[in-house]
Amino acid sequence: MSATGSGSADAGGPVSVQAEAIVFGFPPAPVALSVLRRASSWRIGGAARTLAIFVVAAPFAALVPPHAPWAIGALGLGGILASRRLKERFTLLGVEGACPKCAEPLAVKAGRLRSPHPVSCEACHHQAALRFPEAALGDGPASAKGLGGLG
């Protein structure tokens, strides 16, 4: 029982997805995305934890005048962050490829994967879009899987 990994509860490691970087007016450049598939337990658990933190923090925020706006703000922010976590089915860890315009390597911050995913080139400051076939990510919505605990 010597776990070598980081002890993540997610199934499997990051997967590599072929994509292309698109900048208007330039030919698309092939890139490889490193994508982590998130288990629904990760999303729901993370959202619940986020919400719990803000629910706990809200009364303390309300101690500061003018009281109510802080509490409402804390709860609202918690709700926004929690719903973001719920929607994060895939996390983009990184991108390997070159900017279509200036051929400098592209870099992204890790975060929720969007389709297409925006990335701005640090060298030429052009906004590129990373397009990929969503089928390459594997399973779509977890509609078939049991989410019976919700509702």
Positions in the binding site for Zn ion (CB under 5 A): 99, 101-102, 121, 123-124
Return d(Cα 97, Cα 34) in angstroms, integer. Answer: 11
| Residue 49 or 125 with smaller CB distance to Zn ion | 125
| Residue 74 or 106 with smaller CB distance to Zn ion | 106
| Residue 53 or 102 with smaller CB distance to Zn ion | 102
CB of 97 to Zn ion, least distance (A): 11
CB of 65 to Zn ion, least distance (A): 48
CB of 109 to Zn ion, least distance (A): 17
